[in-house]
Amino acid sequence: MHARQPRVRTQPPHLVCLDLVEAATRVEGREHSGLDRRVSACRRLLFHARAVGWEISHVHPRSAARAARPIQGLEPLPTERLVYRTGLSAFSNRPFCEAVEAQPLAELILLSLSLSTACLVTALTAHDWSLAVTLAKDAALGASPDASGRLRGAEPGRSIVAPFARLACADELIDTRRALRLVGDPVSA
């Protein structure tokens, strides 16, 4: 991998809801630490993306047994792209690649419950394609229990992602200025 400067964003962001499925809520039979807080951040950002018209792709893992069940409140709408990744990254799906190629100047915002291999490889691939990449850090980089049950901080994850992706909280990515509207008649002079 070599470092390239991402292109300047001139199109609305493309929100990638990566592996937001029930199976992703558990690690070795236990729930992710702070799961409710993480899912809440995902819901806020997804709701905002829908309200302002961002491109939205839901990427679920391909399972030989059955389709992955989305987390309640994070289900794809019929108008949103739902693809299944067959490899390690979202880019392993051709329709996803075509959607990204159709908007080459859109920033990819990755929304995942953990800094999984799929999240890392998707971010690296996007960076290699010279795309601006942002990771919603409050959803993916919280503390999680290690094998002994002790909480492990997010600092190692930050140092892994920082060279090729911008880290931002979901609330930082929500543009409140777009939500503001004038109410009533303007004051006449």
Measured between alpha carbons, how far is 157 from 159 in angstroms, rounded to an integer?
5
Residue 181 lies in a domain: no
Residue 132 lies in a domain: yes
121: CATH = 3.40.50.850
Residue 189 lies in a domain: no
Q: Which long-range contacts (CB under 8 A, 24 or more apart) does 175-180 make?
A: 175/48, 175/52, 178/52, 179/51
Number of domain units in the chain: 1
How large is the average pLDDT for residues 175-182?
53
Residue 156 lies in a domain: yes
Residue 164 lies in a domain: yes
pTM of the entire predicted model: 0.78
Residue 103 lies in a domain: yes
Q: Is residue 153's pLDDT more than 60?
A: no
Residues 78-127: tens digit of each pLDDT: 999 999 998 999 999 999 999 999 999 999 999 998 888 888 899 999 99
Domain ranges, residue 48: 11-176
Give the chain's end-to-end CA distance (angstroms, integer): 60
Residue 18 lies in a domain: yes
Residue 188 lies in a domain: no
